[in-house]
Amino acid sequence: MAKKMDLIMKVQGLIDKSLPGNLKKLANEVKNLRAERQKMEKAQKTLKAQKELNKEITANVAKYRKLRNELKALDEIKKRNVNLTEAEKKKYESLTKKAKALETTIKSQSKSFQKYGMELKKLKIPFDNLQSEIDQTIRKEKELIAQQKIVAKSQGFLKGAKDKVKTGIKVAAVATVGAAIGIGTSSAKEYLEFDKQMIKVKALTGATIQEYEALKKKAMEVGKTTIFTSEEAAAGMEKFALAGFKPKEIISAIPPIFDLATASGEDFIMISDMISDNMTAFKIGIDDVGHASDILANTMSRSNTNIQMLGEAFKYVSSSASNLNIDLSTTSAAIGLMGDQAIKSGQAGRDLKQAFSKIADAGVQKKLESLGVSVKDSKGEFIGLVDFVRQLEKVTGKMSGIDKQAFLKDLFGDQGSLAMNKLLTATKEVNGVMYEGADALAEFAKENENATGKAKEMAQTILDSDSGKWALVQSAISDVKLKIGKIGRASCRE
């Protein structure tokens, strides 16, 4: 117990040192933002006053011109040596007085207008989006003030944790983590960002209170048990929400995507976006997300490509593949085989897209049929990529390299011919056997289709490593920060 108390006292000392600094830093940020806001508000008032004054000057100038025109008419009468009537004399005197008074007023107003201009010039503020800038500054100011409150509340939270240790409750670990993460400012910011992200998900899905709490709970669970943060989970949920999925579906889809992101070491949000974007094209239901993750994990592990490259390729080819009913396993295998031959990412997608578009072209189909290559089955559907490549193998088998290139270019265009040639020359080793061409595509696609559990298996390998374990610790720390931020936020509302 004595050792534990020593540790807590050291930790509390670190926190006592860091919190005032954090509070001072926040106070300075709030002060600076407030000064900036006041500066912009002053500029806004000055600009408004200048505009109003300009209207008045314009109106007075118009009056002055009217008076001068009337005086000019009377002057013309005098020039003709015609005496003015008494009424005209009185009118002339009245107009002259009014004109002089307006001259004085306009001069004074002009000086004020110039003064406003000089004041605005000194402020050096762009006025095109002034109101927007003010609103944005006010929002930032409010957020910083909220963070100030949370940091202050965190001090009390940690003191309570220390008191509990004194009474025998074992929370030394909590206090230690609190010091390690620089509690307070970062906790406040992290919770506010997470909360903002979850509100987006709620708005997009139209979630009920119960559904929203379930989504939030799942995101928090992710931050606690995976190498990803709760905020990342919330951002990933947003991608599925944008694709039209409901809360329960999103909760179901998230775990296998975390496995794939962990296995690949790539961005979870990017992967969420990629899968949600391509679910319709490849007829992936919400219950099939796990299987899709396994297919992509296997493709990545068995070819010279990665998840981001696959995603870039899908941007171009998924729609064309869908039109020909080419499934995810086969499309991924084709991209992987092209990657093995240095055609990757968006280029692989664009090349395959043109090839598939040419296959669907009636003119190309006629040419192929004249060569004995069938494109459609008895139902009028595409015979499948593997069978199609196998038929091309027979036709091109005895061609010289240059003849084969010319033949493929004539049928599939510059980009499409490159894709088809790479599928014809592809090789893939499966279970110790080396396959070529159509057989390589068939075996790789079959392996993809049967890769159940691949993403989870690869993810577990990563997590069992020292770096994986450390990533879990960091994510768990993030979870603690969120909880502290939540406590502080709730206290601020009281």
Q: Which of 58, 180, 38 is nearest to 110 (CA)?
A: 58
The H or E element containing residue 209 is: helix 209-225
User: What are the angstrom distances between the C-alpha of 216 and each of 81, 143, 246, 248, 477?
Assistant: 95, 21, 14, 12, 18
Is the pLDDT at 213 greater than 80? The verdict is: yes
The H or E element containing residue 434 is: strand 433-436
Q: In this predicted structure, what is the pLDDT of residue 487?
A: 46
Q: In this predicted structure, what is the pLDDT of residue 468?
A: 43
Is the pLDDT at 18 greater than 70? The verdict is: no
Is the pLDDT at 143 greater than 70? The verdict is: no
Residues 98-133: tens digit of each pLDDT? 888 888 888 888 888 778 777 767 666 555 555 565
Q: In this predicted structure, what is the pLDDT of residue 189?
A: 61
Strand ranges in 269-376 using DSSP code E only, listed in sequence order = none
DSSP assignment, residue 286?
G
Q: In this predicted structure, what is the pLDDT of residue 330?
A: 95
Is the pLDDT at 348 greater than 90? The verdict is: yes
Residue found under tokens 């050291």: 10
**Euclidean distance between CA atoms 143 and 145, whole angstroms:** 5
What integer is the mean pLDDT of 171-180?
43
User: Which residues, listed in sequence order, are joined to residue 340 by a DSSP beta bridge?
Assistant: none
3-state helix, strand, coil in the chain (%, to 5): 80, 0, 15
Is the pLDDT at 188 greater than 60? The verdict is: no
> What does pLDDT average to over the chain?
76
Q: In this predicted structure, what is the pLDDT of residue 328?
A: 94
What integer is the mean pLDDT of 168-193?
48
The H or E element containing residue 430 is: strand 427-430
Report the percentage of the chain scoring pLDDT > 70: 71
- CB-CB neighbours of 317 under 10 Å: 27
What integer is the mean pLDDT of 327-343?
93
**Euclidean distance between CA atoms 459 and 311, whole angstroms:** 19
Residues 269-292: tens digit of each pLDDT? 888 888 888 888 888 888 888 899
Is the pLDDT at 305 greater than 70? The verdict is: yes
